[in-house]
């Protein structure tokens, strides 16, 4: 059953600050200090740009796949201005097989805007971050919090799952972030900026390592004693069925294969080279049209294609 504190948070979004610190903030932050992974974007020398790059890359992509690409990216483009000078197609090429390559174009667009509007320095103000192309509420809050130590509710899938279980007693959060979740996240924020920033990182790490979607390890969880879901006996998910993402045979897979040919080519590629990577012509054409529409591929005369130059 939910604790009285959890019930207050769910019902009206209020709770005593000292109770929040004792039951939530202190144990989770202490766990984080002892168990946090040593990741390069958490190092002081990563700077705001390193944090921003990591946030773009980590969306829907596991850390193990991001690490090598992140290191190569920062070695090649240590500042936004370095990336802004390159053609957007080079960002797509360097993105490799991280998936969802539109993120590469958005990151390139953000780098251009940072260079033009902010003298090449990632802005610190939340409103300025939100105004950059390709940056939404989550990324703006994450960069402001992790890079600049500001007080913002940072709600990714891992954090939402921790809050759903520990506070509301549900196994999984809704498919899309709700107003109620945002209200709860704000109610849980520590008042002190530095503590709030650590809380954001710690609750995210807890969801990534312990309170996971498929294999929660409640014995290791610093919130086990006050977890509403655990206290209720771990009731099964009652909402809409959670569909696992598929990849094989989808347009996403075809798009990936087409982009792989273009990434590896140093000159424009003929249609015939793209035709060889997927046998089904209708799906192949649909995937290629989608890549062109998204700005990831540039069509040229005589049936040639390349990564975008502008």
Q: For the segment 230-260, what is each residue's pLDDT rounded down to a tens digit?
A: 999 999 988 777 776 678 889 999 999 999 9
H helices of the chain, in order, are: 4-12, 17-20, 26-35, 47-58, 63-76, 80-84, 88-95, 102-117, 126-130, 137-148, 157-163, 179-188, 193-209, 228-231, 251-264, 271-275, 281-293
3-state DSSP call for residue 270? strand
Give me the catalytic one of 33, 44, 55, 191: 55
Query: Is 55 considered catalytic here?
Result: yes
Q: What does the pLDDT read at residue 4?
A: 55
DSSP conformation class of 254: H
Q: What does the pLDDT read at residue 10?
A: 59
Q: What does the pLDDT read at residue 72?
A: 97
Q: What does the pLDDT read at residue 8?
A: 63
Q: What is the pTM of this model?
A: 0.90
Using the structure block, give the residue that is written with the tokens 């969801």.
Answer: 207
- Span 72-94, pLDDT tens digits: 999 999 999 999 999 999 999 99
- Span 170-214, pLDDT tens digits: 999 999 999 999 999 999 999 999 999 999 999 999 999 999 998
Average pLDDT of the segment spanning 143-149: 98
- Span 14-56, pLDDT tens digits: 667 788 888 999 999 999 999 999 999 999 999 999 999 999 9
Mean pLDDT of the chain: 93
Average pLDDT of the segment spanning 152-166: 96
């Amino acid at each position: 059953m939910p604790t009285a504190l959890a019930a207050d948070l769910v019902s009206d979004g209020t709770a005593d600050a000292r109770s929040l610190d004792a039951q939530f903030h202190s144990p989770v932050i202490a766990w984080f200090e002892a168990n946090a992974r040593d990741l390069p974007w958490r190092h002081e020398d990563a700077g705001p740009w390193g944090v921003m790059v990591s946030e773009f890359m980590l969306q829907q992509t596991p850390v193990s796949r991001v690490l090598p690409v992140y290191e190569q990216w920062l070695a090649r483009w240590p500042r936004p201005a370095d990336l802004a000078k390159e053609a957007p197609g080079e960002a797509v090429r360097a993105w490799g097989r991280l998936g969802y390559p539109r993120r590469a174009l958005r990151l390139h667009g953000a780098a251009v805007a940072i260079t033009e509007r902010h003298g090449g320095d990632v802005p610190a103000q939340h409103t300025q971050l939100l105004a950059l192309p390709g940056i939404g509420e989550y990324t703006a809050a994450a960069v402001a919090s992790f890079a600049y130590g500001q007080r913002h509710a940072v709600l990714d899938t891992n954090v939402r799952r921790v809050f759903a279980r520990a506070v509301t007693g549900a196994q999984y959060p809704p498919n899309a972030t709700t107003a109620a979740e945002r209200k709860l996240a704000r109610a849980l924020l520590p008042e002190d900026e530095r503590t709030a920033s650590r809380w954001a990182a710690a609750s995210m790490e807890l969801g990534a390592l312990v309170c996971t979607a498929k294999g929660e390890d409640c014995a290791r969880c610093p919130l086990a004693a006050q977890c509403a879901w655990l206290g209720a006996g771990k009731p099964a998910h009652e909402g809409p069925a959670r569909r696992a993402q598929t990849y094989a045979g989808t347009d996403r897979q075809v798009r990936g294969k087409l982009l792989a040919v273009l990434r590896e080519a140093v000159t424009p590629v003929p249609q015939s080279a793209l035709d060889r990577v997927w046998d089904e012509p209708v799906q192949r054409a649909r995937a290629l049209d989608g890549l062109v529409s998204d700005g990831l591929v540039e069509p040229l005369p005589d049936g040639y294609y390349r990564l975008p130059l502008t």
